[in-house]
Amino acid sequence: MNLSRRRLLETGWKIGGGLLGVIAGWTSWELLRPLKAAGATGKIKVGSPGNFQKDTATYFGQGRFWVVNTSGHIFALSQKCPHLGCRVPFCESSGRFECPCHGTQFDLGGEWISGPSPRGMDQFELSIEDGDLVVDTSKKTDGPDHGARQFYRDPLGPSCAGNG
């Protein structure tokens, strides 16, 4: 086999380019694929319904959700914004959930108020077992569509995110 210098370099460049393409593809896949859910999944006991005072939001880091009590209803809301998955904190001064990434605001019931989110905050299944509330983080339903105003109320005060 007669291998010229030119042929050797061409083959080397092809192999190197192919390896670079594979590495770039793998890196892109790792960056873009959805992450596995962190935190506990499954059923999590959060206590008696009486522990959750009216118009409050209580965060549970173990399952990464909020338990809210508003207008006689108790919900378990996912901490993730439906827009891009940012963690949505509760703003005590406004009485709303406010996404720090793109400014979406949700009322205490998780209903969309403003911003780019396609819907309200997603909810986890909530049940009562032996007198305790149990949140099942393996059973999530999409939040309410835009326009739902069952739990809407005016802000209590200034926004934490500075969005009004």
Where are the chain's structural domains? 1-33, 43-141
What pLDDT digit, counting tens, does each position of 70-109 carry?
888 998 999 999 988 889 999 998 889 999 988 899 999 9
pLDDT above 60 (res 12)? yes
What pLDDT digit, counting tens, does each position of 17-73 carry?
999 999 998 888 887 776 555 555 688 888 888 888 888 899 998 889 999 998 889
Burial degree of 66 (CB within 10 A; 0-12, 13-18, 19+): buried
Predicted confidence at residue 40, as pLDDT, reads 56
CA triple 114-120-123, angle to 5 deg: 155
| pTM higher than 0.75 | no
What CATH code is assigned to 43-141? 2.102.10.10
What pLDDT digit, counting tens, does each position of 116-149 carry?
999 999 999 999 898 889 999 988 889 888 888 8
